[in-house]
A and B are shown apart, each in its own frame.
Chain A
Amino acid sequence: AQSVTQPDIHITVSEGASLELRCNYSYGATPYLFWYVQSPGQGLQLLLKYFSGDTLVQGIKGFEAEFKRSQSSFNLRKPSVHWSDAAEYFCAVARQAGTALIFGKGTTLSVSS
């Protein structure tokens, strides 16, 4: 069965420091990959997505993610974290177009001053 793993349940980063959130998936082919963010009391918002092409994708709010086929990973990065980035981050995977979107359990990001 297809699954998505976010190994880090909770991460704390100092404001201004860099960030990397990990995501691994267990599906052999190149799936459709997404990162969503959920701020406290807010709905889910798409940060970025990867379907094909350049393996480094840029998203909103200064986030980027890199698809690594050999590692079955799609890690989210940001060079300098802002206090407003504190939220829960979800990685999501769909096997192909027209199939269900499966989410990881999420990583909660706290930002310290």
Chain B
Amino acid sequence: GAGVSQSPSNKVTEKGKDVELRCDPISGHTALYWYRQSLGQGLEFLIYFQGNSAPDKSGLPSDRFSAERTGGSVSTLTIQRTQQEDSAVYLCASSLWTENTEAFFGQGTRLTVV
């Protein structure tokens, strides 16, 4: 596609359930990022994939959060046993990550835990 695609755009889930959020990056982009955006908290870095390198998981807030990237393309962010504090907009971005490149963002998935 022309841009970064995220699905679903909105997700309402019950506390304690698991959720999966999907990101389709721009074709050919080697780098993929996940962020969480909560009111007043800016963009909180979660995880970063770059090519075949081991992902940078330093931003994952707890072991309930995990992500994978299959075939160097599509990525899935999984949140297990969701809590109300997980409610936020989850943003995905991709880039070539060579000199003079930028990260392109998707529209995000708004997750509401009730």
Known: A43-B106, A104-B42. A51 touches B100 (CB 8 A): yes
Nearest CB of chain A from residue B47's CB, rounded to whole Å:
8
CB within 8 Å of B: which of A74-103?
90, 92, 97-103
Place the interface of chain B in its size category: 20 to 34
Bits for B84-113, please: 1 = Cβ < 8 Å to A, else 0. 000000010100011110110111100000
Known: A90-B43, A105-B40, A105-B41. A43 touches B50 (CB 8 A): no
A67 at the interface (CB under 8 A from B): no
- Counted as pairs of residues, one from A and one from B, with CB atoms less than 8 Å apart, the total is 53
With the chains together, A92 CA to B35 CA distance in Å? Answer: 12
A51 and B95 alpha carbons, distance in the complex (Å):
15
Closest to B56 in A: A100
By the criterion CB–CB under 8 Å, are A99 and B99 in contact?
no
**CA gap between A49 and B40 in the complex, in Å:** 24
Give the residues in chain B near A103, CB-CB below 8 Å. Answer: 35, 42-45
Within 8 A of B (CB), among A40-60: 43-44, 46, 49, 51
* Residues in A neighbouring B98, C-beta threshold 8 A: 97
> Nearest chain B CB to A96's CB is how many angstroms away?
10
A101–B45 CB distance below 8 A: yes
26 residue pairs from A and B, CB less than 8 Å apart: A6-B42, A9-B40, A34-B103, A43-B106, A43-B107, A43-B108, A44-B93, A44-B105, A51-B99, A90-B42, A92-B43, A97-B99, A98-B31, A98-B97, A99-B48, A100-B33, A100-B56, A101-B33, A101-B45, A101-B103, A103-B42, A103-B44, A103-B45, A104-B42, A105-B42, A106-B43
Q: What are the 3 A-B residue pairs with the smallest beta carbon separation, nearest first?
A: A105-B42, A103-B43, A100-B48
Binding site for B on A (CB under 8 A): 6, 9, 34, 43-44, 46, 49, 51, 90, 92, 97-106
